[in-house]
Amino acid sequence: MSTLEFYLARAEQCAKDASETRLDNVRERHLRSREAWLAMADKIERTNESRATAAAHKADMLALAEQA
């Protein structure tokens, strides 16, 4: 399981826990936790996209250097 999958699974579990409780303060805590897990998952996704873009750019630059 990747870190992203783990974060998304935790967010899903927090949502499930929030829907199953009858206590408002516990529900709010689970929903806040869900938002935190989703924010961390979003950061991982953005980092992965940035790394892929950088790797593609580097590959392009190496290809251009080999042509010269």
- Domain containing 11 equals 3-67
Rounded Cα distance between 41 and 57, Å, is 24
For residue 1, name the pLDDT band (cuts at 50, 70, 90): confident
Rounded Cα distance between 14 and 34, Å, is 5
Number of independent structural domains in the chain:
1
pLDDT of residue 55: 95
H or E element at residue 22: none
For residue 68, name the pLDDT band (cuts at 50, 70, 90): confident
Q: Which of 31, 3, 6, 5 is nearest to 17 (CA)?
A: 31
3-class SS letters over 1-21? CCHHHHHHHHHHHHHHHHHHC
